[in-house]
Amino acid sequence: MDRTPFPHRSDFADNGGSAHFTWAALAQDSDFDPIAIPGRIFDMAESVRAAYNNAIDTDPETDYGLRMTSGYRNPIANDRLPLSSEASLHQWGNAVDLAPLRNPESWPPGYDTYDDLMNLIYEVAVIGLDEDLYDFLLHGGHVHIEYDPQP
Ligand SMILES: [Zn+2]
C-alpha cells in the first residue's frame, strides 16, 4: 500500500508526553514503540480526559484517569496488529486509543462495568470534539479517536 505522505523526521520524538499522559505511561499501557509522533495524540487524549472528568461531576478536582492504549504506530507495528487497517491514521500520529483504567477500584462511582466506562469515553469524545474534524469508533476494548478532517 502507498502510505505517502510519510511523516517527516522532525515529526518524531523519543520523549515528551503531556500533563496526564506521560511517555512512561504510554510505554506501559500501549503498543508503544519508543519513537513516536507526539502532538495531536496527546492533545486528543487530554481533551477527552478533561471531558470525561467533567461528565463524572462538576468538581474541578475530579480526576479519574484514562489509559492510552495506542498512539503512534510505525507501519510494521501497525500491520502486526490483527485488527488494524493498512491505512490506520495511527501511522501518522493522528489517532489515539483510550480506555478505562484496568483496576475497578479506581473507577468513578456509579460506573460498574468496563463497558459503561467505554460508552462514557465515547460519548464525551463525540460531544467534546468537532465531528467535522474527528471520527470515533468503539472497538476491541478501547475508543479509537482520529483526526480526519472532511473536505
Ligand atoms: Zn485506534
Nearest residue to 67 via CA among 24, 130, 124, 13: 24
Q: What is the mean pLDDT of residues 65-93?
A: 93
Q: Kindly report, residue by residue over 36-72, the tens digit of the pLDDT.
A: 999 999 999 999 999 999 999 989 888 999 999 999 9
d(CA 47, CA 150): 20
Sequence spans of domains, the chain: 21-43+50-139
Q: Kindly report, residue by residue over 18-32, the tens digit of the pLDDT.
A: 999 999 999 998 988
pTM for the whole structure: 0.94
Ligand 1 midpoint to CA 10 (Å):
23
Question: What SS3 class is residue 144?
Answer: strand
pLDDT of residue 5: 87
State percent of the chain over pLDDT 70: 100
pLDDT of residue 52: 96
Rounded mean pLDDT of the chain? 93
Ligand 1 midpoint to CA 96 (Å):
6
Which three cell numbers mark 23? 511517555
Q: What is the mean pLDDT of residues 70-98?
A: 94
Which three cell numbers mark 28? 506501559
- Which residues are found with C-beta within 5 Å of the ion, ligand 1? 95, 97, 144
Q: Kindly report, residue by residue over 1-22, the tens digit of the pLDDT.
A: 788 889 999 999 999 999 999 9
Torsion of CA 28, 30, 36, 38, to 10 degrees: -90
